[in-house]
Amino acid sequence: MKIGVDYYPEQWDRELWKADADLMARTGVRLVRIGEFAWSRLEPKDGEFDFTWLDEAISNFSRHAMGIVLCTPTSCPPLWMYETYPDIVQVGADGSRLQTGIRAHRCLNAPMFLYYAKRITEQLAKRYANNPAIAAWQIDNELESYPCTCEECRGLFRDWLIDKYDDLNNINAAFGNIVWSGEYSDISQIQPPNAYPKAWQNPALCLEYSRFSADMTAKFANDMAMIIKRENPRAKVTTNTLFSENTPDFYKLFSNLDFVSYDNYPPVRLTDDEGMSSSHAFYLDMMRGVKQKNFWVMEQLSGPTGSWMPMGPTPRPGQIKGYALQAMAHGADTVMHFRWRTANKGAEMYWHGLIDHSNVPGRRFNEFAELCRIAPKLSVIETTELVSDVAILYSHDNAAAFRIQPQTEGFSYFEQLRYFHAAFSKYGVNVDIVPPDSDLSKYKAVVAPSMYVYDKNSAENIYRYVIKGGTVIMTARSGVKDPCNNCIMEPLPTVYREMIGAEVSEYDPIGKEEQTIVDFAGNSYKCRQWCDILELGTARAYAEYRDSFYSGKPAVTMNRYCSGVAYYIGTVCHMDFYEKFAGNIMKQTGIPRLKDLPKGVEVTTRTNGLDDYIFFFNNSEQEADITLPKAMFSILDDTEKDKLKLKPFDMEIVRK
Ligand code: GLA
Ligand code: ZN
């Protein structure tokens, strides 16, 4: 397992480079990521390239046998390019062009930007693709699905729509443009959604625009990767991704890249809300699920965050090391810390790295050094992966559609995913988060929260899984929309109704109000946000409402369908419900559970088929005591143990 750092040679004096590399080598750093913002130094003038400093920076690290993650610098075009081609800057939804002097503001579709982006990428690839020091390539930095509305994007969007729908009549019908007399009579009338007011925009248009920009972002990454691979087909190419307002479609973005890498900034302060506190395990599992393979962390929390927001608290003792190991527990094979030293200039000077402005390595650095010291002991888990009995389905389309129409006060697609993830995780099992059209046959239980926008492949996939004996858990707001984001004219959950064996006679979007449901065993729980009032067909009630005019009506149902079972949760609850529910599902489906894990302790297992390695991570601020079912060998301190005492954010890894 490799530990690395993100480094900005262009931001520091040469004298520091050598001292930094020496200290990195002594500390045990194995990889250094460089170059993602350095275009103006690589091409100071149009067509004039300067790679001498980069050669030097690379050998500064490679002479210590550190590998390099070389980035393409396309996130920050130099100012000379904007001067000559001002229209390479993105245009916002309100029609105004973004200002220069920041980053990531170039339009990925602007022809002149693309011309230069391809050229600098090709230049870098030609010079370094076969350099043995280059361990991997990072395309750009945190590519998003930018909602750019420039002329070029408008034109491409029109082409994209015509390509998909053939002609304007089909688009008019699919978008329901007759509503508010929005019918297109000429292709030039097609416009991306504009700013005001957002809620007045046609949801069909909005979803297609979001899909279009996701496609364009993936195309950009793919085109750049091809340029690198042309020079060196064996190059390992990735891009570092994130969750943001314009989250890219991970599945598309990485479809042609070699591996996923993720920028991981777990929370420093824990909350009492368990759905939230285990959220970083959730995001890590989601990253592993994108390619259903192990992944890298390209940026890892190293100090107080800040810069464009008020500064947050400094990582607590244990978090620098513990969170890096937590990422490995969920499938990261490499963790790179952002960043080696905190910037003392520029907008990001308060987003702290491992070493503070003082350049005196302190507490956080020492903890990082300890992480580097133990990393070689983890080599035995290098060939291991996570195998899970439980999967949660994540759909980018659904996430985008819920962003366009947030349903009711407090309703959150991600919150539902996180609660299910936290609930199953409490029993110490691995959980996969995978696309709805992936192979489900290996899972004993599949949670398919709010399958909102109909997708034929996904729906058939879920049916197939249940028909063959699988157990699926669906939730409210499933089967609501057709693929164009229009409401389906059938009783909910429409396409899933037959499998669910119940239908929604009416719904009550209660928002932040709370009501009560009671399950078959008499346990009562608070519910919120949404209440589907269900009428039973072949299904049985699992829980009923206790309030309002629908008191006594089913809120949660269970239906045997072919050889499988389909549950439907027509409301949104709190953790107590999901925990109990997950426990029941595990009992029903024969998934082994660890019981009585101390609060906050996360358990995952990586296996190579012969040996299982169990990770116990204390993601809490209290000490945790765990009794193991038998004595097991700790790979961190080479001893047999039958009891674990974990300090806050401590990790133990034992061989089963
Ligand atoms: C992102 C970016 C980095 C840096 C960090 C911290 O993850 O990729 O360049 O800006 O955030 O702010
Ligand atoms: Zn654009």
Q: What is the DSSP string of 458-517?
A: HHHHHHHHHHTT-EEEEESS-S-B-TTSPBPSSSTTGGGHHHHTEEEEEEEEEEEEEEEE
How large is the angle between the packed helices 279-291 and 319-329, nearest 10 degrees? 40
* Angstrom distances, CA of residue 198 to CA of 183, 192, 362, 405, 485: 19, 12, 48, 10, 16
CA of 557 to the centre of ligand 2 (A): 47
pLDDT at site 594: 92
pLDDT at site 64: 98
pLDDT at site 174: 98
How far apart (Å, rounded) are the C-alpha atoms in residues 389 and 366? 38
Q: What is the pLDDT of residues 481-506, one digit of tens each?
A: 999 999 999 999 999 999 999 999 99
pLDDT at site 197: 77
Nearest to 148 by CA among 190, 207, 201, 89: 89
Q: Are 628 and 654 in contact (CB under 8 A)?
A: yes
Q: Are 341 and 354 in contact (CB under 8 A)?
A: yes
Q: Is the pLDDT of residue 5 over 80?
A: yes
pLDDT at site 198: 79
pLDDT at site 194: 84
Whether 10 sits among the annotated catalytic residues: the reply is no
348 lines ligand 1 (CB under 6 A): yes
* Angstrom distances, CA of residue 59 to CA of 5, 16, 33, 67, 235: 16, 14, 13, 10, 19
Ligand nearest to the CA of 240: 1
Percent pLDDT > 70 in the chain is 99
To which residue do tokens 């688009």 refer?
A: 171
Q: Is the pLDDT of residue 277 over 80?
A: no
Ligand nearest to the CA of 192: 2
263 lines ligand 1 (CB under 6 A): yes
pLDDT at site 334: 98
Give the pLDDT band of residue 276 (cuts 50, 70, 90).
low
Spell out which residues have Cβ within 5 A of ligand 2, the ion.
Answer: 107, 109, 148, 150, 153
Phi, psi of 134 (to 5 degrees): -80, 110
- Secondary structure element (H or E) that encloses residue 558, with its range: strand 554-561
**Mean pLDDT, residues 28-50:** 98
CA of 620 to the centre of ligand 1 (A): 26
How far apart (Å, rounded) are the C-alpha atoms in residues 293 and 291? 5
Q: What is the pLDDT of residues 544-579, one digit of tens each?
A: 999 999 999 999 999 999 999 999 999 999 999 999
**Mean pLDDT, residues 373-386:** 96
Mean pLDDT of the chain: 96
Q: What is the pLDDT of residues 625-634, one digit of tens each?
A: 999 999 999 9
**Mean pLDDT, residues 136-151:** 97
pLDDT at site 296: 98
Whether 274 sits among the annotated catalytic residues: the reply is no
Q: Is 527 helix (H, G, I), strand (E, B) or coil?
A: strand
Q: What is the pLDDT of residues 428-458, one digit of tens each?
A: 999 999 999 999 999 999 999 999 999 999 9
* Angstrom distances, CA of residue 468 to CA of 419, 465, 478, 646: 27, 5, 21, 42
pLDDT at site 374: 96
* Residue nearest atom 9 of ligand 1, based on CA coordinates: 141
**Mean pLDDT, residues 289-317:** 95
pLDDT at site 100: 86
Query: Among 299, 348, 503, 652, which one carries the catalytic annotation?
Result: 299
294 lines ligand 1 (CB under 6 A): no
Q: Is the pLDDT of residue 417 over 80?
A: yes
Q: E strands, 16-60, where?
A: 31-34
Ligand 1 atom having least distance to the Cα of 299 = 7
Q: Which fold has domain 604-655?
A: Immunoglobulin-like (2.60.40)
Ligand nearest to the CA of 209: 2
pLDDT at site 275: 65
pLDDT at site 273: 75
pLDDT at site 278: 62
Verdict on whether the full-model pTM lies above 0.95:
yes
Give the pLDDT band of residue 603 (cuts 50, 70, 90).
very high
Paired tokens of 16: 């520091």
pLDDT at site 572: 98
List the single range of 46-55, 236-245, 263-272 with lowest mean pLDDT.
263-272
How far apart (Å, rounded) are the C-alpha atoms in residues 171 and 112? 30
Q: Is 364 helix (H, G, I), strand (E, B) or coil?
A: helix
**Mean pLDDT, residues 360-388:** 97
Ligand 1 atom having least distance to the Cα of 240 = 8
Q: Which fold has domain 390-589?
A: Rossmann fold (3.40.50)
To which residue do tokens 């302190």 refer?
A: 362
144 lines ligand 1 (CB under 6 A): no
* DSSP β-bridge partners for residue 572: 528
CA of 297 to the centre of ligand 1 (A): 13
How far apart (Å, rounded) are the C-alpha atoms in residues 152 and 159? 11
Percent pLDDT > 90 in the chain is 95
Domain definitions of the chain by residue range = 390-589, 604-655
Q: Are 390 and 430 in contact (CB under 8 A)?
A: yes
